[in-house]
Amino acid sequence: MSGTARDDAVPGAVPAPSTGPDRRNVLRLGAVGIGLGALLAACGKGNGIGGSTAASSSSSGLPAAPAVANAADAKKFSGSTVATDIPGFGTELATTQQLAKQFEAETGVKIKAIPLPKSTSDAYAADQRLLASGQSSPDVLLVDLIYPPALASYLLDLKGHLTEAEIALTYPNLIAVNTIDSRLVAYPWYGGFGRLYYRTDLLQKYGYTKPPATWTELTTMAAKIQAGEQQANKAFSGYVFQGNAYEGLTCNALEWVASYNGGTFIDGNTVSVDNPNAIAALKLAQGWIGKIAQTSVTTFTEDEAHSAFGAGNAAFMRNWEYAQDLQKGSEVAGKFSVAPLPAGDVKGGTTAAAAGGWAVAINKNSKNQDAAVEWLKYLTSPAAQAYRAVNSSDVPAQPGVAAMSEVQAALPALKEQVIPFARPTQIGAKYNEASTVIFQAVNAMLRGSPVEAGVKKMAADLRELIA
Ligand code: GLC
């Protein structure tokens, strides 16, 4: 791995609220002044948000995907098949299928779509196994931004396949995250931050005028709303989040701990989690179970939280930007809004959002690399990113796309600034093992095991791992 430069460039690597150039870059995902005109000139194609020609709209009700700007190059591989990861659920799956359909129609290249498991940890384990055994398929992989150091040696260097101009469209810090030992091993696709979703109608019903600024306020508000709503609806929870033992829980726990000014588990080269603020944050979360969250939340990924909130069964939800897709046709459409996650109620407490995101990579052993590159170029093109932003609420990895008025209108949360915190990815290829230590320990705490002892053991295990 390439060390310091990349670590510094990870969004939010410095516990906030400082404002280095990289940090600002990510903070202002929506506020970048590149006009729509400039972006369209760069795409060279209509508005790129659907309604284009070759593939008709699908049964999913989505508009047709944008035209394939690189169709002429891609047609050279007509008749070949590209096996590709695609997102595993929700509107993200549907918009990506729609892009695949468009690409097939315009290029004659077949897309064999492989939906990823719901949990990024499961997706990583599967990719890791398959790449390590030298498999040539899938040709195209989706890579969570925490995994490039571990997977880099199995992935094609995209420099030389993408132009400097294409690379320059993306936020530089996302390029940095995916650059390992000077090799660009994946091209950024979308990003996102942890957000608080809240029911505007229920806040009003229970006498609240604004979302909670601190976790203590959230706990009080959620308890009151849950007590009222459960009288008619036993399935109702005050708060839903990602409590299962997987990467999503590491993100939630990072937000709790960082918001309590308790660090990011490992800061620099030092395991930092064994401190009173981190313990206070984890005790707070443990106290939610059975009070404002049902015990089943300890098995929730993003998808279960999204379903519960979307069905009207929760007052508050922690999720990524893409959950704004619930504004389209769900039970809670028009009845919720998005806010920064609450701050810890301590000195130095702050709102804290885990930084997340995905990139597209090509298997070094793919027998179909040139066709795979063409699919990657279309999937990550400004037009396709805009299509996904508008139709499945995915935050573009390119400032020019984020600045488009259609994208801003579709993703109101883009306008709000967040204070992002990176997961401790500075430890490189061992990150997944460290995260496993963290999420298993925190999941056990949510299920009732003592917090102080759990934190001590977690810290010892992390120290051993990074020694
Ligand atoms: C989202 C984020 C990703 C994170 C995952 C955790 O997919 O984009 O970075 O690891 O959630 O569940």
Whole-number pLDDT of residue 4: 25
Q: Cα angle vertex 207, ends 206, 213, to 5°? A: 100
Report CA(48)–ligand 1 centroid distance (Å). 26
Answer for the pair 146, 247: CB distance below 8 angstroms, yes or no.
yes
Report CA(377)–ligand 1 centroid distance (Å). 22
355 lines ligand 1 (CB under 6 A): no
Give nearest CA residue, ligand 1 atom 2: 356
Q: 0.85 cut: is pTM over it?
A: yes
Answer for the pair 402, 65: CB distance below 8 angstroms, yes or no.
no
**Sorting pLDDT into bands at 50, 70 and 90, what band is 261?**
very high
Q: What is the CATH number of domain 2-192+356-415?
A: 3.40.190.10
Question: Using CA atoms, how far apart are residues 194 and 1, in angstroms rounded to an integer?
Answer: 27
Digit-coded pLDDT (tens) for 383-415? 999 999 999 999 999 999 999 999 999 998 888
Give nearest CA residue, ligand 1 atom 6: 248
Answer for the pair 124, 144: CB distance below 8 angstroms, yes or no.
yes
**Pairing verdict, β 237-240 and 195-199:** unpaired
**Sorting pLDDT into bands at 50, 70 and 90, what band is 8?**
very low
Chain center to CA of 368:
28
Q: What is the 3-state secondary structure (H, E, C) of 119-160?
A: CHHHHHHHHHHHHHCCCCCCCEEEEECCCHHHHHHHECCCEC
**Sorting pLDDT into bands at 50, 70 and 90, what band is 300?**
very high
Answer for the pair 317, 240: CB distance below 8 angstroms, yes or no.
yes
Helix-strand-coil split of the chain, %, nearest 5: 45, 15, 35
Closest ligand 1 atom, residue 356 Cα: 9
**Pairing verdict, β 237-240 and 314-319:** parallel
Whole-number pLDDT of residue 15: 27
Helix or strand holding residue 337 (H, E):
strand 336-339
Q: Which superfamily, per CATH, for 195-354+420-466?
A: Periplasmic binding protein-like II (3.40.190.10)
Whole-number pLDDT of residue 417: 78
**Structural domain spans, the chain:** 2-192+356-415, 195-354+420-466
What's the whole-number mean pLDDT along residues 418-445? 97
Q: How many CB atoms lie within 10 A of CB 161?
A: 18
Burial status of residue 129 (CB atoms within 10 A of its CB: 0-12, 13-18, 19 or more): exposed
121 lines ligand 1 (CB under 6 A): no
What's the whole-number mean pLDDT along residues 217-236? 98
Q: Is the per-residue pLDDT at 275 higher than 70?
A: yes
**Pairing verdict, β 81-86 and 110-115:** parallel
Digit-coded pLDDT (tens) for 73-84? 999 999 999 999
Chain center to CA of 19:
22
Q: How many CB atoms lie within 10 A of CB 314?
A: 32
- Fold matches, 2-192+356-415 and 195-354+420-466: yes
More confident residue, 14 or 405: 405
Closest ligand 1 atom, residue 242 Cα: 12
Give nearest CA residue, ligand 1 atom 1: 356
Give nearest CA residue, ligand 1 atom 5: 248
